[in-house]
Amino acid sequence: MNEINSLSLQKTALIVVDVQNDFCDQNGALGKQGADTSMVKEMILNLQNLIHSARELNLPIIFIQTIHEDATDSEAWVSRGNTKNVEHNQVCRKNTWGADFHVVAPLETETIVIKHRYSAFYNTRLDSILRTFGINNLLFTGVATNVCVDSTARDGFMRDYHITMISDCCAAYSEQAHLAALQNIDSHFGRVATSNEIIEELKSNKTSFIRI
């Protein structure tokens, strides 16, 4: 982990990206397409523990939820990647089990931000919510480390937020992709820490957290 920045954790939010059935469950869309979800299964326990600790400390938690539908499926979007794979775009469709949260889910008092692209900052209310409540330090978790988590973290950095990727609370579909994304964030966009390091840091600064 990089040296902890001096930014007060009173202005920190935990961001949980795309922990949804289609991305995380072996019976979800990606699992059925052959993606290895074993890393997701391993990280869920760490994420549950981190979320529990964050709630005990009244730390704001924002859940990011991908929703796809015809109204947001542009030609450029649906033709990305392997265009021959029709199932490529049948992920997290509106009002389906696949779009539902997987294992961890927001409380009624917690915020959900819906996105339609990889980054949770693109055409969403995330930036407005964070700035309204004076948040400038973001702790990133979720899937996939190298796609939606990475894209959102980079966009956050470009908007002058302090970025922390929590290594054992993120997952990808290969260890190589996961580690490469973490290394890139650590080198250019923020810092990387474990959930235990973050929990310890939060507990040492447990005053006046803002509830979103």
Tokens of 143: 């899937």
With contact defined as beta carbons under 8 Å apart, do 63 and 105 qualify?
yes
Q: Hey, which residues are catalytic here?
A: 18, 115, 148
With contact defined as beta carbons under 8 Å apart, do 143 and 172 qualify?
yes
Instruction: State whether residue 14 is helix, strand or coil.
Output: strand
* Distance from C-alpha of 31 to C-alpha of 16, rounded to nearest angstrom: 20
- Locate the DSSP E strands across the chain: 12-17, 61-66, 111-115, 137-143, 162-171, 191-193
Q: Quickly tell me which residue has 């927001």 as its tokens.
A: 106
Amino acid found at 166: I
